[in-house]
């Protein structure tokens, strides 16, 4: 198989399909989404059969338990997929929305119209449900999609691709509106991220090393999420019960998510009071603590935090703790060691809350709230295709709006420029 | 001189300065802008002297008259620079602006805050006034700037850089907030567009070949403007007097600008009526016409338009004309041959106006208005750093908002996620 030629063909087909899906009205797009759901519902058995092939090959190839778990398609996960499709159907269609239409002194009316980006490439790993999630968000936002799932999920993804094609056909849309790459050859990724004539943006979802590699080689714009080194800073003026609740929730609500706190910063003046309570609570949940010298002076059985700990995303029941002189030191630490993802201050002080919001350079900055809230659903986006740690185009949780752009519209009555 | 080491140092300094300028309030930024204006006012003689050195060297090196004209700094052009600074002072400060702050079912309040991008690199050619324009827009939007002007303007730009440093110093801001590259070595550009640790976005201003080369090699996000192949489509239902006014204005108001019409599309049913009037008007202004076969059947002394003409940006008194069957053919032609810049329909038909607005994939889409309106000042942005023909991040005229991004803010009262 000539991978380059195959990918170029996929690109040409996607570009051609993107014009029609950009024009499609909400009714037609929802009809396709609904038909995809019907096709999945009608193919439950064959989807699970296809997935079993992936699972078996995965086990033979020695995939670890966590990976096999992510790969597995169960009846409950198929239900969740269908539920996700119905949620996307219920979302408002961003395309064509016009805003800020105002008269200018020249007499023309100028405003903006929200439009699809065009063709979106999505590169992801083992979880087959991403195929449906990505397809539905791209489709609803009027974009053509090229999906490249993990090689370990190829059978599952091809079975899902068949459901997508069926749904598109029912709605009278081109089967090239959503294309799932049929080859597991890694060269396909290299082609996808460099064919800028056919692809407008690439969204990689997966581990940091995958995303860094893709960003390095891409010629197409990448909306990327690197890592989540999130902080909670307990200020001198914190309400201590809020501080404890938020610090415990931010670390222990879930360990493996990008918006989980990895470093706790505590103002020196309240460290004596806050740390022992927190250590007890973390201890009950078996969270390993690593602290700076000042932390260790208060908490006896805490390991040393090394310089490396301040920039480590544990994704595990491990927490680094640092005592800081004041909010300015906390902000300095966050902007230096953090990953510009999500950081929260606990304070009752109005001026400090205001300054923290302004000065912390992260995609989500919070006051008196758990970092775990940094999420498309919690923010009211309805769904998210990922969380961007970039500043350009999209920052933080990326929903349907993040898959669109805005063009200018000008309405006149024969106006000419003088 | 070790160019790589020099540029890395410039980058490190810019990154360090960006934190302070991001935090600076409007008053402080306006104070710096005002002090820069004072410094320019106080250095008029030395600016003109420096510029004369550039002009003399340019003449010796055989620069053509158009280039020398762009390079020249006259008292009137210094006045225009000062006027531009005062306009930027008068603009509203976008930084810190909070929008869409809404309560979510969980009880947290979620909104967005506008923030600077960080460090912006600007690469431009001969006109020295771009130094002040770019510096003032970056400064007002809270970004640090690295400016790389044309080698032919090096003396003028260094003299202006001195005025900028003086202004920054008066306001107590770091001199590294705006750095003008002191070397004319082209390697500096290569370094600037690849040092993604220190530069967040690069905006090249200049010819298409320069911009294509920069985009190809850049590792940093590029906000780019390629070309302006703009269209006016005269529909079956056009008001003929509006059609003639807009078609003449779009082509002849200025020939060398990117928002000038390069191809005129005329619906077959009105070609007989429209083309002779237009040909007379263009004839009086010495605009050379090149037409398709149907155009030539109506207008006798028109040259053949070749396939190449449909994708040529003349920037000159030359116009390609094509007769099309209907609006759909016009839209197909625009989306295929245009540069996604600015396109206008002339029609009194409501449904066609609505469909044209939706289906034309350009950064500005107009109804009954001259393409010449596609401009930051005309759109009410107050100033523009350029016009983006990209879809990602910024599309069309880029003003202060285009130099910023939005982060999420979350306000809680000790909220945790359940």
Beta-bridge partner residues of A397: A387
CB contact under 8 Å between B378 and A110, yes or no, is yes
- Which residue do the tokens 């170029």 mark? A8
Burial, A38: exposed, middle or buried (Cβ in 10 Å; 0-12, 13-18, 19+)? middle
Instruction: Determine the length of chain B.
Output: 418
Chain B residue with minimum CA distance to A117: B391
Question: Which residues on A lie below 8 Å from B412 (Cβ)?
Answer: 246, 366-370, 373
Q: Which of B117, B335, B366 sits opposite A391 (nearest CB)?
A: B117
The beta-carbon neighbor of B413 closest among A22, A368, A406 is A368
Chain B residues inside the 8 Å CB shell of A239:
414
CA A405 vs. chain centroid, Å, equals 18
B200/A412 Cβ within 8 A: no
Specify whether the CB–CB gap between B247 and B264 falls below 8 A.
yes
Of A113, A357, A417, the CB nearest to B409: A357
DSSP A149-181: --GGGHHHHHHHHHHHHHHHHHTT--GGGEEE-
Q: In this complex, which of B250, B408, B414 lies closest to A364 when CB atoms are compared? A: B408
Cα separation, B315 vs B305, in Å, equals 16
- In tens, the pLDDT along A61-80 reads 999 998 999 999 999 999 99
Residue A415 pairs in a beta bridge with B369
Dihedral angle over CA of B1, B4, B6, B7, nearest 10: 140
Q: B396 CB contacts (<8 Å, ≥6 apart)?
A: A407, A408, B363, B364, B374, B379, B387, B388
Nearby residues of B126 by Cβ (< 8 Å), 6 or more positions away: B67, B70, B71, B150, B152, B153
List the structure tokens of B246: 């807009």
Place of tokens 């923030």: B115
Residue A99 exposed, middle or buried by CB count within 10 Å (0-12, 13-18, 19+):
exposed
Query: Scanning the structure block, which residue is given the tokens 């006109």?
Result: B127
Inter-axis angle of helices B154-170 and B129-140, to 10 degrees? 30
Q: In B91-207, which residue ranges form alpha helices assigned H by DSSP?
A: 129-140, 154-170, 187-192
Label residue A393 by pLDDT band (50, 70, 90): confident
Q: How many CA atoms lie within 13 A of B238 on its CB side?
A: 31
Q: How far apart are CA B154 and CA B58, in angstroms?
A: 11
Pairing of strands A98-103, A109-116: antiparallel
What does the pLDDT read at residue B226? 78
Whole-number Å distance between alpha carbons of B305 and B296: 10
pLDDT digits (tens, 9 = 90+) for A198-228: 999 999 988 888 888 898 899 888 988 878 9
| Distant-in-sequence, close-in-space partners of A337: CB < 8 Å, separation ≥ 6 | A229, A263, A310, A311
Q: Which residues of B fall within a CB distance of 8 Å from A374?
A: 408, 410
CA of B155 vs chain A CAs: smallest distance (Å): 34
Closest to A18 in 3D by CA, of A299, A386, A412, A403: A403
pLDDT of residue B225: 81
pLDDT confidence of A390, banded at 50, 70, 90? confident
Q: Considering all CA atoms of chain A, what is the largest pairwise distance in Å, rounded to the nearest integer?
A: 79
State the pLDDT at residue B179: 98
* A183: Cβ contacts below 8 Å, ≥ 6 apart: A1, A3, A6
Distance from CA of A58 to the nearest CA of B (A): 34
Residue for token digits 């759901």? A37
Q: Which residues pair with B387 in a beta bridge?
A: B397
CB contact under 8 A, A414 and B239: yes
- What is the chain A residue with the closest CA to B260? A417
Contact B372 A416 (CB under 8 A): yes
Lowest-confidence region among A43-52, A257-266, A379-388, B225-234: A379-388
Which residues in B lie closer than 8 A to residue A346 (C-beta atoms)? 414
Q: Do A246 and B415 touch (CB under 8 A)?
A: yes
Select from B22, B358, B397 the Cβ nearest to the Cβ of A23.
B358
pLDDT at A216: 87
Asked if the Cβ–Cβ distance from A373 to B335 is below 8 Å, we say no
How far apart (Å, rounded) are the C-alpha atoms in residues B236 and B347?
7
CB-nearest to A414 from B113, B242, B373 is B242
Determine, for residues B249 and A104 on separate chains, whether the beta-carbon distance falls below 8 Å.
no
- Closest-CA residue of A relative to B380 is A104
pLDDT band at A1 (very low <50, low <70, confident <90, very high): confident
| A415/B201 touch (CB, cutoff 8 Å), yes or no | no
- Considering chain A, what percentage of its residues have pLDDT values greater than 70? 100
Percent of chain A past pLDDT 90, that is, above it, reads 88
- Positive or negative: CA dihedral B34, B39, B45, B51: negative
The verdict on a CB contact (< 8 Å) between A410 and B246 is no
Contacts of residue B346 in chain A, CB cutoff 8 Å?
414
Query: Beta-strand (E) ranges in A85-211?
Result: 98-103, 109-116, 119-123, 144-148, 178-180, 201-204
Q: What is the C-alpha separation between A342 and B391, in angstroms, rounded?
A: 27
Closest A-chain CA to B367: A411
Give the Cα-Cα-Cα angle B138, B207, B151 (nearest 5 degrees): 70
What is the residue-averaged pLDDT of chain A? 95
Rounded average pLDDT per 10-residue block, chain B, 418 residues = 96 96 96 98 97 97 92 96 95 95 96 96 92 96 97 97 98 98 95 95 88 89 88 98 98 94 98 97 97 96 95 96 98 96 98 96 97 94 85 90 95 96
ipTM of the complex: 0.91
Report the candidate in A128, A156, A151, A122 with the shortest Cα–Cα distance to residue A70.
A128
Which pLDDT tens digit goes with each residue over A51-62? 999 999 999 999
Q: Which residues of A touch B333 (CB under 8 A)?
A: none
Q: What is the pLDDT of residue A37?
A: 98
Which of B223, B175, B183, B216 is CA-nearest to residue B199?
Answer: B223
Q: How far is CA B47 from the centre of its chain?
A: 26
Angle at A259 between CA A255 and CA A264, to 5 degrees: 80
Distance from CA of B241 to the nearest CA of A (A): 8
pLDDT at A66: 87
CA angle (B405 as vertex; A223, B170 as ends), nearest 5: 140
For the beta sheet containing B221-222, the strands, ordered from the edge strand earlier in sequence to the opposite edge, are B178-180, B144-148, B119-123, B201-204, B221-222
Task: Kindly list the residues from chain B whose CB atom is less than 8 angstroms away from the CB atom of residue A378.
Answer: 104, 106, 108, 110, 417
Strand (E) or helix (H) holding A332: helix A327-337
């Amino acid at each position: 198989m000539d991978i380059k030629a195959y990918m170029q063909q996929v690109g040409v087909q996607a570009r051609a399909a993107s014009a029609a899906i950009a024009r499609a009205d909400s009714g037609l797009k929802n009809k396709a989404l609904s038909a995809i759901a019907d096709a999945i519902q009608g193919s439950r058995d064959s989807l699970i059969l296809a997935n079993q092939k992936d699972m078996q090959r995965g086990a033979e190839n020695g995939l670890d338990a966590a990976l096999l778990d992510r790969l597995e398609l169960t009846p409950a996960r198929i239900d969740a997929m269908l539920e996700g499709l119905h949620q996307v159907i219920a979302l408002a269609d961003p395309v064509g929305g016009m805003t800020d239409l105002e008269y200018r002194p020249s007499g023309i009316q100028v405003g903006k119209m929200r439009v699809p980006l065009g063709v979106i490439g999505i590169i992801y790993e083992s979880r087959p449900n991403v195929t449906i999630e990505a397809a539905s968000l791209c489709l609803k936002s009027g974009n053509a999609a090229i999906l490249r799932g993990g090689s370990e999920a190829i059978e599952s993804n091809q079975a899902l691709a068949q459901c997508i094609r069926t749904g598109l056909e029912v709605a009278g849309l081109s089967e090239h509106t959503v294309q799932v790459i049929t080859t597991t050859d890694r060269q396909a990724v290299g082609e996808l991220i460099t064919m800028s004539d056919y692809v407008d943006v690439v969204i990689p979802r997966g581990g940091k090393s995958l995303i860094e590699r893709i960003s390095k080689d891409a010629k197409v714009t990448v909306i990327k999420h690197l890592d989540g080194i999130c902080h909670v800073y307990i200020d001198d003026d914190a309400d201590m019960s809020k501080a404890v609740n938020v610090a415990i929730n931010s670390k222990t609500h879930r360990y493996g998510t990008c918006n989980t706190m990895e470093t706790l910063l505590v103002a020196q003046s309240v460290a004596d009071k806050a740390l022992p309570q927190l250590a007890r609570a973390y201890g009950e949940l078996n969270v390993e603590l690593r602290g700076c010298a000042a932390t260790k002076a208060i908490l006896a059985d805490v390991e040393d935090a090394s310089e490396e700990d301040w920039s480590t995303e544990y994704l595990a029941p491990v927490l680094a703790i640092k005592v800081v002189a004041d909010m300015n030191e906390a902000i300095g630490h966050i902007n230096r060691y953090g990953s510009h993802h999500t950081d929260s201050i606990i304070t009752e002080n109005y001026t400090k809350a205001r300054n923290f919001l302004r000065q912390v350079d992260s995609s989500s900055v919070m006051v008196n709230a758990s970092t775990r809230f940094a999420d498309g659903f919690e923010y009211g986006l309805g769904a998210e295709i990922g969380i961007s740690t970039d500043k350009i185009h999209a920052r933080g949780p990326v929903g349907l709006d993040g898959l669109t752009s805005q063009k200018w519209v000008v309405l006149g009555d024969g106006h000419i420029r003088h």
